Amino acid sequence: MDTGKKGEEVVAQWLIKRGLLILYHRWRWKRGEIDLIATESDTLLFIEVKTRNRSNWDADGLLAITPQKQARIVRTAELFLLKHPHLCEQPCRFDVAIVRHQPINRSIVGTPLHILADLTAGEHLLLIDYIPGAFDG
């Protein structure tokens, strides 16, 4: 399993523990992908997951969520809704999850929201931040 998939699994586990229903992992369409699609109460969530090493150049992936990336995700969400019209009436939200992976022998800085230890790879996967409504204003 690649690092991106591992990060998505960490976020999915955390969301499920919070009572959310995961509808799709890596929903793809011709020119876009949404990492996770979930429901929380009556709200449909489109979740972008960024997984990075502890030492990274883009603020743990936040700088990678450019206006162009946001527009691509929104277009992909619109296509998703065209393919799933029964979900069109639900309010939608775009969230971002930040996951860091680091070797198990390194100390964990701060208090992550969720931790997954992959002992076979010798690493921790840490859900560092979850930003609801990340594309708003």
The C-alpha atoms of residue 29 and residue 136 are separated, in whole angstroms, by 24
The C-alpha atoms of residue 71 and residue 15 are separated, in whole angstroms, by 24
For tokens 């450019």, the residue is 66
Q: Which pLDDT score, from 0 to 100, does residue 75 have?
A: 93
Domains in the chain: boundaries: 3-131
The C-alpha atoms of residue 124 and residue 137 are separated, in whole angstroms, by 33
Rg (CA), the chain: 15
Q: Which pLDDT score, from 0 to 100, does residue 24 have?
A: 96
Contacts made by residues 54-57, CB under 8 angstroms, sequence distance 24+: 54/100, 54/101, 54/102, 54/106
Q: Is the pLDDT of residue 21 over 90?
A: yes
Band of pLDDT at residue 55, cut at 50, 70 and 90: low
Task: Choose among 44, 133, 39, 38: nearest CA to 95.
Answer: 133
Task: Choose among 30, 41, 27, 50: nearest CA to 99.
Answer: 50
- Which pLDDT tens digit goes with each residue over 59-86? 566 666 778 888 899 999 999 999 999 9
Lowest mean pLDDT among 25-29, 30-34, 91-95, 116-120: 116-120
Task: Choose among 130, 136, 137: nearest CA to 47.
Answer: 130
Q: Which pLDDT score, from 0 to 100, does residue 62 have?
A: 62
The CATH code of the domain at 3-131 is 3.40.1350.10
Q: Is the pLDDT of residue 105 over 90?
A: no
